[in-house]
Structure 1
Amino acid sequence: MVLPEGFVLPPWYLLGPVLVILAGVLALLWALEPPVTDRTVLAFAPWMMFGSALHVLHRIEAYPERVEILFASPTVYLVTAIVAGLAWIIAIFLYAGGLQPSISRFVGISGTGFFAVFAMIALNSGWAQGTFEPFWPVIAVVVAGIATAVAWIALSLWFTDVAATTGATGTLVVFGHALDGVSTAIGYDVLGATEEVPLSRLILEAGEALPTEEYIGAGWLFVLVKIVLALFILGLFKEYVEDRPQQARTILALVAAVGLGPGTHNVLLFLVT
């Protein structure tokens, strides 16, 4: 099995409009050619987390039955991209009209608002059902922050040019994958969660087969692989960021989302289940 468990596409009459709207949003953004800087990538971090909140609400069955499949994987990523893209377009026009001091500011504030609202809905659901457990999710965020700091310091010392070139975008990439790795490790070793992605499950099973599993669990190998892979990608993108910064940072933002999205999803899900 290659695809993650729970991977399901909605029927054509739902998927079709989603794809058409997404294509229209992308076409308009292509025509507008908004700048993509470190601030732009950071501004989209809340939107990456917003998509996770939408999916967690699907996991706890908070949506009406007719539309719930839109928030399953992978369609939830398309829905998130549409909403975030529309916010970006609105920000561009507000900035052009002199109503906002910068594009990234509106994108970041609106994304934070959307994430906060939907995350609170999920948290209130967990609180009402008596399943709200903050201890391990908080530990996951703290440990991921520490791991990111250590990895970034090491990168800055031994590959200073890579850290300087990728900047805040690179930091977000490392933190996103560190959060995914740490939260997955805690879920697997401590909370008894199962891993839905086949490749990730193979890495966890490899860690389980090592002699260290008895003492520190199996998840540490997954954390190490995620962080090393993130740093390796930043090294590969150094020249690309120098030559074509806008395109390179856009791709790195997607790389960050692949880590930050699942990591935030794990944290929220552990909070409410």
Structure 2
Amino acid sequence: MLRVKMVKLMLILLIGMALPELVTAQQQVTLKDALTYALQNNARVRKSKLDIEGGRYKVQEVRAQALPQLTGTAGLTYNPIIGQLVADFGGQAQAIKLGQNWNSNAGVQLSQQLFNQQVFTGLQAARSSEEYYNLTSQLTEEQIIELVANNYYQVLVNRQQLNVLDTNIKNVKTVEKVISNQFKNGLARKIDVDRISVNLTNLNTQREQVVNAIVQLENQLKFSMGMPVSTPIQLPVTELTQVTQLPVFTDSVDLANRTEVKLLNTQ
């Protein structure tokens, strides 16, 4: 009886441990979730953040050269064997030590550069590099957002196409049954049955191609997000509606505010 209770308890614990993983696997990834994940985990975005941090440290390093420099030194020396000098004093030989067992020294030096053109030139170059890395990071984020959004909607478009194919296959199967019954009753020709069978085969082939394309696009989406390809994701069911009104663009476009132009101006 005790053994049965232990087995039940182990089963409950195993189910409790597996339940969070099942819930996580069933979570849907919206476009906002995909973009947020990509901006935090994409390799290019993370590298650009590290470049910004490195540029900031470079500015601090160059700026430190223009600040007062305080240098301190200290030393401690131990001489296990000290040289001796033997001298004759009044007919008696005496040994005189030439040093001490322990020697120590310490010093402090304060320096300040009044003017150094190389330091100011380096500081200006470091600040330009920091601005360059900031713009590069901003441009990288914009490109990743565009890439992830395109991949996300490509998955939705192919899933919509899969739904259309499933509907067509269902309708063609219904027509195939009707024509087959008509052929059995002598109301249809054999070529009609063959034609509808070929259409059904073509639709099934197209469906397999779309299914494979969806798998590839999902992997491409996860790769662009910086997510392991083996991680299961589920996109919410979204109906793609037709765009009835196109966005209105102004005649004059301020190119100076584009990140690409700003980045070119810093080079």
Calculate the TM-score normalised by the size of structure 2: 0.21
Comparing both structures, which one devotes a greater share of its residues to helix? 1
Flag the structure with larger Rg.
2
Comparing both structures, which one devotes a greater share of its residues to strand? 2
